[in-house]
Amino acid sequence: MYSEKVMEHFRNPHNMGEIPDADGVGTVGNPVCGDLMTIYIKVKDNRLEDIKFKTFGCGAAIATSSIITELAKGKTLEEAMKITRGDVADNLGGLPPIKMHCSNLAADGLHAAIQDYLKKREAAQKK
Amino acid sequence: MIRRVYMDHAAGMPVDPRVMEAMTPYFTQKYGNPSSLHSWGNEARKTLEDERAKIVALVGAKKPEEVFFTSGGTESNNLAIKGVAYRNKDKGNHIVTTAIEHMSVINSCKSLMKEGFNVTNVPVDKYGVVDIQSLENAITDKTILVSVIYANGEIGTIQPIKQIGEIVHRKGALLHVDAVAAANQVPINVENENIDLMSISSNDMYGPRGAGALYVKTGTRIQPIIYGGGQERGLRSGTENIPAIVGMGKAAEIAKTEMKTEGEKLARLRDKLIEDLVEGIPSSFLNGHPTQRLPNNANVRFSYIEGESLILSLDMLGIACSSGSACTSKTLEPSHVLIAIGLKHEEAHGSLLFTLGKQNTEEDVDYVVKALPDIVKRLRAISPLTPKELLS
């Protein structure tokens, strides 16, 4: 059902874990639906210096989480915001159609983490 | 080579070699049509009746005329529900069923709702046992049919069918029982258990796919849903699938003689599997009834993780099973059966269904019991839901 690339990331997910002092955290999905993803980012000089994830969900959910950390690491915030769900699926050699909607949350998770960072930064600047 | 352990018999079973052997001549040598008048036809007709007698024996029917061959469990359920509903609509338009039926029952009822029938779903308790009082209360003077699954293939819970039948008959309705998952595993007697109609399937007893049967008690008003040349005494047209029917007959014969010893063996393996998993893995729980369950059924849920990930991980180690997770279904909904027994969606997602079969051994169970803790641990380490104390 899944591409070899998906299985590879499912077997050996990259950048799995938490960043305790993360600059931004994004959580998307809902355990009720079977997928919940949290992305942690560390930002330095407008770049994603570090990124980690934790995911509850199916093989696709875990693989997309893993690949997004690969795609985003080292990118500027602007570049990272441009990564789409389509990019995630393409870099995994495609996803089964039924998984495109429900489990392909990783780009949303990344964007939510960046927005969380931007919001926190804005709040800090106002002080 | 990795060990391969198949524990997904509810999804599909191998054909018993003795069944295969019995069927083989009927493809290339004994290919007559039972409707033909020549000797080929006569031979096929005799075969058909010989096989029917084996189904009669398995279910405890009184007469051969009470057993009708179909294409499988789904068709039998469709025929029972729609055939009884259409034929009895002068008496009423109400059907009572339960919250844990097979999709073929659920969707047959749904199709009837579009045609003006009303359907009541009776709840089950946390073990999956039908709430008898609710069932009794649900039956009105408009109720023509009550359809209850003998044992649900997913959680394995066996229903008190005899008692349900007494209530249904006292209230003047008919009882249909979906015994597809149960017929091969527990002795059923349609007469003793007050059953008016009962669906069974060939592949669920080590027979080939493409054959099933519906028991219809003499005097039960039912009409066909498939029309044609009037085979099966007009109730189920279409040329009889003799090779598959021969296979089903042989499978039924074997089931009848070996059910007791086979059931005892499976129940031993089942209990070991359940016990070892629930004891060996923290935050894991049995789904379904602790004792009133099919001998081959072990359904265990693991908190904080999702079933498809578990299945993929087990598959890498050569182990096959199923899950109630939405992520493994075509509809993206978690199993309605697990929701009916009161599980939260996230609990249903983390459920694994192991259905054992004849060829499974104690070594197979040991292999699964050894493999699963590490898999659960790994996925829990990835999951944001896992409490910290479980990770150490």
pLDDT band at B45 (very low <50, low <70, confident <90, very high): very high
Can you give the CATH number for the domain in which A86 is found?
3.90.1010.10
Question: If you average pLDDT over residues B336-348, what whole number do you get?
Answer: 94
* Cβ-based contacts of B385 with chain A (< 8 Å): 31, 36, 56
Q: What are phi and psi of B204, to 5 degrees?
A: -80, 5
* Cβ-based contacts of A37 with chain B (< 8 Å): 384
Check residue B123 and report its DSSP letter.
Answer: P
| Residue B99 pLDDT greater than 90, yes or no | yes
* Cβ-based contacts of B325 with chain A (< 8 Å): 34, 58
Positive or negative, the CA dihedral B301, B304, B308, B312 is negative
Instruction: Among B312, B344, B384, select the one facing A55 at the smallest CB separation.
Output: B384
Consecutive H or E run containing B39:
helix B39-59
Residue A112 lies in a domain: yes
Instruction: Among A38, A55, A58, select the one facing B327 at the smallest CB separation.
Output: A58
CATH of B17-255, one of 3.60.21.10, 3.40.50.1370, 3.40.640.10, 3.30.70.920: 3.40.640.10
pLDDT band at A71 (very low <50, low <70, confident <90, very high): very high
| Residue B119 pLDDT greater than 70, yes or no | yes
Count of A-B CB contacts under 8 Å: 71
Q: Supply the pLDDT for residue B327.
A: 66
pLDDT band at B328 (very low <50, low <70, confident <90, very high): low
How many structural domains does chain A have?
A: 1
In the structure encoding, which two tokens stand for residue A15, read together? Answer: 């950048």
CATH of B5-12+259-391, one of 3.20.20.80, 2.60.120.260, 3.50.50.60, 3.90.1150.10: 3.90.1150.10
Q: Supply the pLDDT for residue A30.
A: 85
Percentage of chain A exceeding pLDDT 70: 98
Q: Supply the pLDDT for residue B326.
A: 65
Q: What is the ipTM of this complex?
A: 0.94
Residue A51 lies in a domain: yes
Mutation site for B-interface testing, chosen from A8, A58, A102, A105 by largest number of B Cβ within 10 Å = A58
Residue A127 lies in a domain: no
CB contact residues (below 8 A), chain B span 42-61, against chain A: none
Full domain range(s) for residue A108? 4-122
B203 and B72 in contact (C-beta within 8 Å)? yes
Q: Supply the pLDDT for residue B2.
A: 83
Q: What's the mean pLDDT when you consider all of chain B?
A: 96
**B29-65 burial, b if ≥16 CB within 10 A, otherwise e?**
eeebebeeeeeeeebbbebbeebbbbbbebbbbeeee
* Cβ-based contacts of B381 with chain A (< 8 Å): 16
pTM confidence score = 0.95
For A8-36, write each residue's pLDDT tens digit. 999 999 999 999 999 999 999 988 878 99
Q: What are phi and psi of B214, to 5 degrees?
A: -125, 125
Q: Chain A residue with minimal CA distance to B307?
A: A58
Question: If you average pLDDT over residues A51-55, what whole number do you get?
Answer: 97
Cβ neighbours of residue B37 closer than 8 Å, sequence gap 6 or more: none
Q: Supply the pLDDT for residue B334.
A: 86
Annotated catalytic residues of A are 33, 102
Question: If you average pLDDT over residues B123-141, what whole number do you get?
Answer: 98
Mutation site for A-interface testing, chosen from B316, B339, B349 by largest number of A Cβ within 10 Å = B349
Consecutive H or E run containing A117:
helix A106-126
Nearest Cα neighbor of B243 from B205, B209, B204, B201 is: B209
Interchain pair B349, A34: CB under 8 A: yes
Question: If you average pLDDT over residues B98-113, what whole number do you get?
Answer: 97
Catalytic residue chosen out of the listed positions B113, B312, B316, B327:
B327
The full set of domain ranges for chain B reads: 5-12+259-391, 17-255
Q: Supply the pLDDT for residue B376.
A: 98
